[in-house]
Amino acid sequence: MAGFFLIAEDTKWSVSTVAFESIVELTRLQLDSNDQTTLDEAYQPVEQGFDCIVLDELDKSGFRLFCHKCRKAFDEYTSSESPDASAIRPDPGLVEVWRELLELLSRDDRYDP
C-alpha cells in the first residue's frame, strides 16, 4: 500500500504507507489550533480514512504554512540525537523520501522559503 500527496493538479507524490504516515503525523504535530484551516483542508482525506494529503487547493498562505511545518518536522526528526536507547533514530530511508517531498514542495509556485 502507499500514501500520496496531491501537491498540485499536475504534481502527485506517492510513498510507502509507513513513510507517508510518519511524515503526516510528524508534520501534524507541528501544526496547532492557529493552523486549523490548513489542518482541515490538507488533512481532510486522512481524517476520512484515506492515505492522502491534499495541498492543491491550499492558498499561498496555507501552502507556505504546511511547507514550513513539514520542513520543521523534518529538521527535528533528522536532528534527534539522544543517548536514550528508546529514542527514535532517524531512518535513512525515511530521510531520503522526505527530502524528495520537500524538493517537490519547493518547486510549487506557492512556495516561499
| pLDDT digits 0-9 by tens, 32-56 | 988 999 999 999 999 999 999 999 9
CA–CA gap between residue 31 and residue 66 (Å, rounded): 8
For 91, residues 6+ apart whose C-beta sits below 8 A from its C-beta are: none
pLDDT for the residue numbered 87: 56
Report pLDDT for 88: 62
pLDDT the model gives residue 105: 97
Q: Kindly report the pTM of this predicted structure.
A: 0.89
Q: Which residues of the chain have pLDDT under 50?
A: 82-83, 85-86
pLDDT of 89: 72
CA distances in angstroms from 78 to 6, 9, 51, listed in the order given: 24, 30, 23
